[in-house]
Structure 1
Amino acid sequence: MLMYNYIVKQLVKKSFGMVNERRFDELVNGMALNIRHSFAGDHALGGVRHDQAAVRAWLGRLSRIMPTLHITIERVDVKGLPHNTLAIVRWTATATLANGEPYLNKGVHFITLKWGKAINIDVYEDTLAVFNGLEAQFQAGIAEAHAPQIIS
């Protein structure tokens, strides 16, 4: 069991590295076809997606709105067996906004995996920090920061 937990932790760390490196196709291809992805908040990044295409579109939006976003993993905890695994990931996100101001957010991902593929991702973060960051980006001319949610 310890080896399995270690492997899942490495898989999760690799996935966050793909986000930082904008390797979204590779990341999404490693998810279940009917992946469920939710991001808390009533804004352009909020909402729930139910398939790979919508998650890929959401990641593209994230990179256009926050092009310098970098996520640092603080801790990964893994529970369960290969057919039903929960990875809890605590992280810190940083970026430089278009107006030159720093962006900082802390949050957690709850990732459910089945046989090594993510089937459910719930993201909880400081929604006020996200809202304020989106507002700053919109004011700096990034119109997509006020776009309707990507939902499916």
Structure 2
Amino acid sequence: MVYTRIVRARVRATFDQINDGDYRTMVDGLAPSFTYRFHGDHALGGVRTSRESMLRWWERVVRLLPGARFEVQDVLVNGGPWNTRIAVRSLVSGDLPDGTRYENTVFQFMTLVWGRVSSVETVEDLQVLERALEAVASVGVEEARAAPIVD
């Protein structure tokens, strides 16, 4: 189906732009009313529903996990433009300031309504992520222990 191929390509292109340091493209793709949930009670966890909180969240991601890269492995698309369900499996990886390497599998479940993202739910291995955040905190970046950014 042509629509499915277009959506898959758009998802992959958005991750490529994030890898190039442009997270604003992702934020610009959000619907006026959206929910972004990242599971877990940690510095990157929480629920955001405003563009401002998403920008602050991405700024934190860049500070805590600089150079993190996403390798999209699967993009599953179902539905039409009025209600598209998307599942993405990707590998996120990058070097941590203590010399160790962060590698985790990320699952994202999204809903796209008429070309705009209305919901995102992000799940990854929280033990791996929390160890990475602790490694960042251990070199003096206290923000890695901060409360989630939420609305």
TM-score range, shorter chain: over 0.9
130-139 or 50-59, which moves further after superposition?
A: 50-59
* In structure 1, C-alpha distance between the alignment counterparts of 2:25 and 2:90, rounded to whole Å: 21
Q: 1:35 Cα shift?
A: 2.0
CA contact (8 A) 1:32 1:52 kept: no
Normalised by the length of structure 2, the TM-score is 0.96
Normalised by the length of structure 1, the TM-score is 0.96
- Match of residue 93 from structure 1: 92
Q: 1:142 Cα shift?
A: 1.3
What amino acid is aligned across from residue 122 of structure 1 in structure 2?
Answer: E
118-127 or 25-34, which moves further after superposition?
A: 25-34
CA contact (8 A) 1:111 1:122 kept: yes
Q: Are residues 1:147 and 2:146 paired?
A: yes
CA contact (8 A) 1:34 1:52 kept: no
3-state secondary structure, aligned to 2:32? strand
Q: 1:70 Cα shift?
A: 0.4
Q: 1:27 Cα shift?
A: 2.3
Quote the RMSD (CA, aligned, Å). Answer: 0.9
1:67-96 deviation digits (Å, cap 9, x = unpaired): 010010011000011010011000101010
* In structure 2, C-alpha distance between the alignment counterparts of 1:88 and 1:32, rounded to whole Å: 18
CA contact (8 A) 2:86 2:111 kept: yes
- Match of residue 113 from structure 2: 114
What amino acid is aligned across from residue 110 of structure 1 in structure 2?
Answer: F
* In structure 1, C-alpha distance between the alignment counterparts of 2:44 and 2:147, rounded to whole Å: 8
21-30 or 142-151, which moves further after superposition?
A: 21-30
Q: Number of aligned pairs? A: 151
Output aligned runs, 1:34-113, within 5 Å.
34-113=33-112
22-31 or 78-87, which moves further after superposition?
A: 22-31
Output aligned runs, 1:13-28, within 5 Å.
13-28=12-27
- Match of residue 33 from structure 1: 32
Q: 1:53 Cα shift?
A: 1.3
Q: 1:24 Cα shift?
A: 2.1
* In structure 2, C-alpha distance between the alignment counterparts of 1:92 and 1:13, rounded to whole Å: 13
